[in-house]
Amino acid sequence: MNRIVERFQRLTTQGKKGLVIYIGAGDPNLEATRQLALGFDQAGVDVLELGVPFSDPLADGLVNQLAAQRGLESGTTPPKVLETVAAIRRESQMPIVFYVYFNILHKRGVKEFIADCARAGVDGLLVLDLPPEESDNYERLMAEAGLCNIYLIAPTTPEDRMELIAKRAQGFIYYVSREGVTGMQAKVSDTIGSMTAKIRAHTQLPIAVGFGISNPEQAKLVAQSAEAIVVGSAVVNQIAKHGKSPELAAKVSTFVKSLGDAVKSV
């Protein structure tokens, strides 16, 4: 069974909420990425969302843009990110999703990229700029490879579109809690509860809510309306702060554990 599906089933059985953590691969280098991933697994992270650095990340706010830039500067390429996933897999069964822009798949070949991911131990793909309308044979190839295609739903998504997306998504639905790019916010959106309720009318899939969650209090609040929460920029910001310090993985994992504890207490 796909690790994402398995993990959410387990969380449901235990009556617990999930924690999804985003980081940019290769920030500040791929060895750090590997150590961070292993630290996150110990800290109780349920899904690692790994950003494959792209030169033109137009859905990302400044914090994640800079992470992608650091990733590219450290020589991170898609094949090297895949090698890093394979290395993580030798020690951890934590589900891993790639957060990736479509041109990276397109250049490699969609079929080939998916096969590479399956081989390395990636469990799902979230392709930022590939809506269902343009997905062509992507969904079939993903299903054949046993990977979950994670689709986004946004506050601007009307109900009939929610239905279309929910039918075609796998693993979990990623609800983008506000209009905008990735990034930390002082206050979480107050429409999250009503929107997740609308999405639930169309699907049994777990819903993960992200974009803008930056501390344990917000994590706890949002987790009440969802099966999981996603924290990205706040973690990336910690990585930027600690940089190449030998304590990097330990320090960031401590922060991540505080998020996990908040979520699990809901």
Partner 1 sequence: MSNAVDLKLPDARGHFGPYGGRYVPETLMHPLQELEEEYRRAQHDPEFRREFDYYLKEFCGRPTPLYFAERLTRELGGAKIYLKREDLLHTGAHKINNAMGQILLAKRMGKTRIIAETGAGQHGVATATVAAMFGFKCVIYMGAVDCERQKLNVFRMKMLGADVVPVKAGQQTLKEAVNEAMRDWVTNVRSTHYILGTAYGAHPYPEMVRNFQRVIGDEARAQIQEKEHRLPDQLIACVGGGSNAIGLFYAFLNDPTVKLIGVEAGGLGIRPEQHAARFQGGSLGVLQGTRSYILQDDYGQIQLTHSVSAGLDYAAVGPEHAWLKDAGRAEYTYATDAEALEAFNALARLEGIIPALESSHAIAECMKRAPKLDRKSILIVNLSGRGDKDVAQVADKLQLQMPV
The residues annotated with a catalytic role in the active site are 49, 60
User: Which pair of structure tokens corresponds to residue 51?
Assistant: 């950003």
Q: Does 35 participate in binding partner 1 (rule CB under 8 A)?
A: no
For partner 1, the closer of residues 45 and 236 by Cβ is 236
Burial of 185 (0-12, 13-18, 19+ CB in 10 A): middle
Q: Does 38 participate in binding partner 1 (rule CB under 8 A)?
A: no
Segment contacting partner 1 (CB under 8 A): 73-81, 86-94, 193-201, 231-239?
Answer: 73-81
Cα maximum dimension of the chain: 50
The per-residue DSSP string of 216-253 comes to: HHHHHHHHTTSSEEEE-HHHHHHHHHHTT-TTHHHHHH
Q: Does 8 participate in binding partner 1 (rule CB under 8 A)?
A: no
For partner 1, the closer of residues 58 and 86 by Cβ is 58
Instruction: Identify any residues that bridge with 49 across adjacent strands, giving them in sequence order.
Output: 22, 97
CA–CA gap between residue 227 and residue 164 (Å, rounded) = 21
Q: Does 207 participate in binding partner 1 (rule CB under 8 A)?
A: no
Q: Does 233 participate in binding partner 1 (rule CB under 8 A)?
A: no
User: Which pair of structure tokens corresponds to residue 174?
Assistant: 């990623």
For partner 1, the closer of residues 52 and 229 by Cβ is 52
Closest approach of partner 1 to the CB of residue 146, in Å: 24
Q: Does 104 participate in binding partner 1 (rule CB under 8 A)?
A: yes
Q: Does 106 participate in binding partner 1 (rule CB under 8 A)?
A: yes
Closest approach of partner 1 to the CB of residue 112, in Å: 12
| Strand positions, DSSP E, the chain | 18-24, 47-51, 96-100, 124-127, 148-149, 152-153, 173-176, 207-210, 228-231
Q: Does 251 participate in binding partner 1 (rule CB under 8 A)?
A: no
Segment contacting partner 1 (CB under 8 A): 33-41, 43-51, 99-107, 190-198?
Answer: 99-107
What size, in residues, is the chain?
266
At residue 25, the 3 state secondary structure works out as coil
* Selected binder of partner 1 within 91, 112, 134, 144 (CB under 8 A): 134
Interface ranges with partner 1 (CB under 8 A): 54-61, 65, 72, 77-79, 102-108, 128-131, 133-134, 151-158, 161, 165, 176, 179-181
